[in-house]
Structure 1
């Protein structure tokens, strides 16, 4: 498990709104070549990290505006899941915390993981995200919908209304 936290000098709404602009990720995440948002819940990623090129699909399993976004990879290949949380510290500062679980494939990826390459990448990406948000007076876009976990007593997809408080820690399996 890899974790990273950073304080962003911007209100939680702006920070969260920027994070929902997944197709902008290559602007601050090294190794991310492209992210295509296929619908509210599904993303297609193209990455190239330490010489390993990957394409994979991810599903947003839980999304609460201004609080959290949880995802997991779907299909064959890359196996990961994670959650990013947004905590307002005051009216103009937000804590962003990422928890990522991934299963490296092959000896080289396991070695890179053991050497802290992924942890370093997450830390650097968070610093670049902070700079990206703080350099702008507004997010490049926003998506304010609520996505609930499928099978959690609510229909799949966007659902209006208040959301229950998020559970602590990483998303369940």
Structure 2
């Protein structure tokens, strides 16, 4: 499990808007290859670890506007849970983001590549949140295409 905190120089409502849609996670979570929306509460994730593709489906379990956003895995070959908490700073001009992310296997001990993926999560999450901050504060977050958007534009 990893827990990281970062302060973003944007109002809380804006930061919440950028982080409350898992489809946008591929813009800053480097190790997630694709996220597709199934419905308003359900999302399919894909990543490759050590040459093996992992897929899982999550459900949003908590979406308290401008306060907290959380999800759990409901099926797949990798178990991911996450919680994002939002705290206004400086009379709402800035926002603290607390991001907790966890990966586990559904089946006993993880193989070497997956074990390394899980073990490296704290360092990776810190890097990913800095990427989010940089994109959000430079107002280029929405300009970044997710991998599914890139594929769709390349096919068209």
TM-score (norm 1): 0.71
Unaligned runs of 5+ in 2: 143-156
Question: 3-state DSSP class of the match of 1:95?
Answer: strand
For residues 83 and 16 of structure 2, the distance between their equivalents in structure 1, rounded to whole angstroms, comes to 13
Alignment correspondent of 1:88: 88
Number of paired residues? 137
Do the aligned partners of residues 70 and 21 (structure 1) sit closer, same or farther apart at CA in structure 2, a change above 3 Å counting?
closer
Structure with bigger helix share is 2
1:106 pairs, out of 93, 106, 110, with 110
CA RMSD of aligned residues (A): 2.0
Alignment correspondent of 1:131: 134
For residues 112 and 48 of structure 1, the distance between their equivalents in structure 2, rounded to whole angstroms, comes to 10
| Shift of residue 52, structure 1, vs aligned partner | 4.5
Unaligned runs of 5+ in 1: 141-173
For residues 66 and 5 of structure 2, the distance between their equivalents in structure 1, rounded to whole angstroms, comes to 16
Do the aligned partners of residues 27 and 88 (structure 1) sit closer, same or farther apart at CA in structure 2, a change above 3 Å counting?
same
| Shift of residue 24, structure 1, vs aligned partner | 2.3
For residues 96 and 50 of structure 1, the distance between their equivalents in structure 2, rounded to whole angstroms, comes to 30
Alignment correspondent of 2:67: 67
| Mapped contact 2:70–2:81 kept (Cα < 8 A) | yes
1:19-168 matched pairs, under 5 angstroms: 19-49=19-49, 51-90=51-90, 91-104=92-105, 106-108=110-112, 109-113=114-118, 116-136=119-139, 140=142
For residues 31 and 98 of structure 2, the distance between their equivalents in structure 1, rounded to whole angstroms, comes to 20
| Shift of residue 67, structure 1, vs aligned partner | 0.6
Question: 3-state DSSP class of the match of 2:40?
Answer: coil
TM-score (norm 2): 0.78
